[in-house]
Structure 1
């Protein structure tokens, strides 16, 4: 069953509300093996809605509508669909009784147009609305299934879970289960990652492999389909093992986790604390870490050492280093990391110095970055980077690299 979700409502096109219904339905349909190939949004206009339906009928055998079932004149979804299908609208007595009861209980006058919400397409299976007035409906004509659901998520979601999904499962018979797994990578670009696993992507059938890059990271979404839930997991395990055998050093987690979350877990498990000396990043590392719940267990403090005076007077970077090598240098990064660790009494010290732009500094180009990482009883490491992008982009990616390097060392421990 290949599906298209059509959201009806001019407020969606105007950007007044977000189409969260499509996201919800796509996830729900995927769980029962229905392929969602199209999301469409159309305004409250019967002719444009009719045109949209004609297009959908040529490419989908399940069309799910949300919105346009209310009492006002611009709620025209079921009227338009009924006309296209050559069916009448009839009043559903159960729905009408519920509407009348609602107005009695709230001591409000029921206007005539509210009866419109009880109308359903003749011959359809009515989907009860336990959280509102307008019922949903499902009907199959000429091998195409039409499902109409209300627009408000608080009505639509429980209706689909309680009644809509059951209606579709009866039509589907045996169901393929779809399972997805997201692998998260950092320190490798999207193009390089794709090159390393190009043959796996070219040969993909089941599971499928979908790369996605965002915010300096790369994710791979693996999706498997099988009648057995256990077999979907086996299929995912097999393709994940092939991927990690090639690029596993860059993988740091699954799903919606983040570099900072993974670092937090490791620090707590190892009972380690960290402090930061931040020139280039201006406290961003500390901000990201303290955004995490439980950060007080692992984070001591940050010293924002933007000026050379603070580097020298607070963090004891020698004037000789600042004059000979500069503030943006390997030696300065090393000294900052070691001294902030010792000054604040933590297990780990990390430092950030570099050029975020828009102009070069100390004769060094924009994007020059040094990150110092000083673990107790381990040799201090200094990482040199050449980054590109906006000022804020360089700063944020620098912080991510900081978490990435901490995680690498922790994984070796």
Structure 2
């Protein structure tokens, strides 16, 4: 394979901002043709329920089933998958699940209320959603980690029922995914995928319950369907390609950094690996490591395309400037591979997850660190957060005025309501004002 030329940028070059914008540009996850296909599927499933889901599943996943009953996994099947795993895999999955649970237990929102001097009570009631839908990619791809990252926060939040959908193209069932579902406490699991699975979860069918929120990654058809049903149900996010940004002071082994960049590049040709350093010689060393290690990678072709099309090695004047460039990019994953990551942390404003220190490979976060690996991409870390327990809880405001409080605040509400010419509002409040 030809030598990969990774884009080199310098923050001091005149057109740095324009070049960075060009590097970060990402097209929408959808297009007109995909939208048309997805819209047809959504409407068919909404109208015909199970029959449409079975029809589309047979067509797209090359199956021959007669009913939804054939597409549902029993709890005994899930448990058998877990019990049948090789001991090393079962132990690793169990350790990862416990770490994810321990971390997310600390995110639980609690209801609260307080009372004012006149007896008025105000507060917030935190309530879990009733049902959540988990989409898991299927077939030859195996994402048991996604099952854990999506299902466990929902359970910690107190969601009553968790419905998992996972496609089984050509009847290929991934036992690791089923095992993770058993371990994470999935209540019902179906061998369906694509836009038809999203539609079934959003609208409900005779067999599949309608959920309150759909979470989990998928292909362009899944992402388009999730966007289309948002409002009917909640969704976690519309995720773009995976991203990693490494800030390094030049003192980490360049082979480590090259492999960290590969770890996200191997996901997808459109994945974006970026390295920022104040040491130009170190950037050269990493470039050498990339060339040396790339031929050893099983997914060399995917990594090569990612590096050639979307990667960059960026020279900055100092680590403070590196932090500013990071905040412009707002990456999904950020590694602070520096001597004192705690000192740099206050300068970091935007990142989905921050991996601190030379020993903290991003890959640990994908599987077993504990924090969620479902993270905002494409710059949305400027306003979005990792998936968490809070995504499966909703908050209701509590308001209970005492007689005295209603009288005093009624005067305030009356003035404001009449200022907006909403006299029914004003008079409603005025009825409670003591004479």
Q: TM-score, normalised by structure 2?
A: 0.26
| Higher RCO (Cα < 8 Å, 6 or more apart) | 2
Pick the structure with more strand per residue.
1
Q: TM-score, normalised by structure 1?
A: 0.27
Larger radius of gyration: 1
